[in-house]
Amino acid sequence: MTSDNDRRRGLFARLRGRPAARSRGRRRLGAAVRLLAALMLAGGAYTAFAPSVQAQDTPMSGVAADGKALFNESCVSCHGRNAQGVEGRGPSLVGVGSASVEFQVGSGRMPMVRQEAQAPRKPPVFTPDEIRQLGQYIQELGGGPELPPGEDLHEDGNLAAGGELFRINCAQCHAFGGGGGALSSGKYAPTLKPASDRQIYAAMLSGPQNMPVFGDNQITPEQKADIIAYIQENLNHNQDPGGFNLGRYGPSTEGLAIFLVGIVALVFTTLWIAGKS
């Protein structure tokens, strides 16, 4: 029943049957009305279902306003106005949450000195108060992961459970002793030695730089406390029972030590013994 001519027309047109001869003006008007209706439908549905953009609607808290002022001084050049990111310079910060701010700014990685493979840790530029203000601003801007309160996040941590989780999830990059390790193309997993409880927690939550995110679905807050307990109490504050740990770099530095200490000492001994004839 459908001819070639039919097939070339749209579905609605075919359902309607043979087109009545309409004037050009009426066709244009109909198209405009349909477009307007579709737009209103989409817009209405969006306003009904999408979360409202708070930054525009609700007023910012005082702390966040201070943070925004700081942001506009120090961060805007790379992360753009309203933290929406600048192509090729810095990513958008909408939705990264205050956890990310606390890690990046608190460990001095942000502001970056220059664009390179990875931002290194350095003394923080901002005071803790300023970091809280920045975090609050980013949080109110787009939500995102937040840290639990308190400085000590590993009070009830179980060392053995934390050790097992650490070896499974963290040691691949940060190495068995938490000393860090190389990744590809100049990127690296940093040492965990200087990291505070909050920074480790924030890193797991936000997955900074090349680190994957370990959200609360993958590693529960209790398990995070276990991991932090293992890092802080066993790796960072427990003395090595075997003596100087040679940086805990594994057999590489042990091989270096046997030549630099053992062989050198004994070659000098041979010189001494043979010199006594």
* Binding region for other proteins (CB under 8 A): 117, 159-160, 162-164, 167-168, 171-177, 179-186, 188-189, 230, 234-235, 240-259, 261-263, 265-267, 269-277
Specify the residue for token string 């307007």: 36
- List helix spans (H) across 52-109: 54-57, 62-74, 76-79, 97-106
Q: Which is nearer to other proteins, 66 or 226 (CB)?
A: 226
Q: Which is nearer to other proteins, 67 or 179 (CB)?
A: 179
Q: State the minimum distance, in angstroms, from the CB of residue 221 to other proteins.
A: 20
b or e along 71-86 (b: 16 or more beta carbons within 10 Å of the residue's beta carbon)? Answer: beebbbebbbebbebe
Q: State the minimum distance, in angstroms, from the CB of residue 245 to other proteins.
A: 5
Q: Which is nearer to other proteins, 148 or 247 (CB)?
A: 247
Please give the Cα distance from 146 to 169 (Å, whole number). Answer: 21
Q: State the minimum distance, in angstroms, from the CB of residue 241 to other proteins.
A: 6
Q: Which is nearer to other proteins, 61 or 234 (CB)?
A: 234
Q: Which is nearer to other proteins, 41 or 160 (CB)?
A: 160
Q: Which is nearer to other proteins, 134 or 231 (CB)?
A: 231
Q: State the minimum distance, in angstroms, from the CB of residue 233 to other proteins.
A: 8
DSSP string across 172-204: HHH-TTS--EE-GGG-EEPPSTT--HHHHHHHH
Question: What is the SS3 assignment for 81?
Answer: helix
Please give the Cα distance from 18 to 263 (Å, whole number). Answer: 99
- Structure token pair of residue 197: 């409880």
Amino acid residing at 196: S
- Terminus-to-terminus CA distance in the chain, angstroms? 117
Q: Which is nearer to other proteins, 38 or 256 (CB)?
A: 256
Angle (CA) 65 128 115, round 5°: 85
Please give the Cα distance from 133 to 62 (Å, whole number). Answer: 9
- What single DSSP character describes residue 20? P
Q: State the minimum distance, in angstroms, from the CB of residue 237 to other proteins.
A: 12
The reply to whether omega before 111 is within 30° of 0 (cis) is: yes
Q: State the minimum distance, in angstroms, from the CB of residue 261 to other proteins.
A: 6
Q: State the minimum distance, in angstroms, from the CB of residue 253 to other proteins.
A: 8
